[in-house]
Structure 1
Amino acid sequence: MTTQHWVYYPIAILLTSVFWISGLTKILHFDVAMAEMAHFNLQPAALFVIMTILVQLLGSLLVILGGRWIWLGAGALSIFTLATIPIAHRFWEMPADQGALDLALVQEHFSLISGLILIVIVAEFYKRKNSPNYKD
């Protein structure tokens, strides 16, 4: 994409790596992904695995490519990340030692969501800066 600085792409790849690595891992180890969904009582497990893979891979692709649909990719990944908190990281129901670990994971989730929001803002900035109507 010509509207973004060259450094955008490695940052976008790194930012989304947690998602696309997870999506690819779920494809390669579908049975393990099914067991994970069943563990969290997400049924039908196959549907949840497929939807998770689609959100993780397509959302990552939209963010990495940038462009007009970056907001959709970042939004989908942000909602997905937020939704995992009450499903997989219920720190408020756990013993203190285990709960502390899951609380830290929730805080990391918030940081990741913030990064996704920020990359949309940066992409929009570069788009406007490269516009013929941009005034410094």
Structure 2
Amino acid sequence: MTTTTTTNDDTGRGLVLAARVLMAAIFLVAGVRKLLTYGATLGYFGKLGIPLADVVLPLTIALEVGGGLLLIAGWRVQWVAGALALFTLATGFIAHAFWAADAAQFNGQLNNFLKNVAMVGGFLVLIAHASAAGRKAGPGG
């Protein structure tokens, strides 16, 4: 019975690691792309009406790349997943406002908005798992 439990625990850890890597991938790619197209991204942030875009952009890149790497590493998953969830939800409302899009962009913006909402759901699962794992480990572990 111990072997089955250990195998199930190993499988669960592997699945959670895979989930963290898959969730992080979009942030790593997005952050690197923003860095490589810094000027164009700065202009896009301005077009979106983001105040202090020259301050927000480097913070966004740091959050996306840093948060993605920390999520993969499993460092303070509850905090990192929480920060990325809030960022993802805010991004959905700011950058993917399908309700204000013209007919040609409506479907794309709706899909991106719903993708962001689904990602927030994934982050909530990671937060719940990390919380449960912390309770299982107890105060000393």
5 and 40 in structure 1: CA distance in 2 versus 1, 3 angstrom threshold: same
List 4+ stretches of structure 1 deviating above 6 A.
none
2:114 to 107, 111, 117: 107
Higher relative contact order (CA 8 A, sep 6+): 1
Structure 1 SS opposite 2:28? helix
Q: How many Å separate the matches in 1 of 2:138 and 2:116?
A: 37
Cα distance between partner residues in 2 of 1:110 and 1:43:
24
**Which ranges in structure 1 are unaligned for 5 or more consecutive residues?**
none
1:74 to 81, 92, 108: 81
**Could you give the per-residue CA deviations for residues 101-122 of structure 1, whole angstroms, max 9, x where no partner exists?**
2122111111100001111222
Q: Is this contact kept in 1: 2:92–2:117, CA < 8 A? A: no
Note the residue ranges of structure 2 that are not aligned, 5 or more in a row.
1-9
Whether the 8 Å CA contact 2:27–2:64 is kept in 1: the answer is yes
Number of equivalences = 129
1:25 equivalenced with 2:33 (yes/no): yes
Q: How does 1:31-110 map to 2 (within 5 A)?
A: 31-67=39-75, 69-110=76-117
1 or 2, which has the higher helix percentage? 2
Among candidates 1, 9, 13, match of residue 5 of structure 1: 13
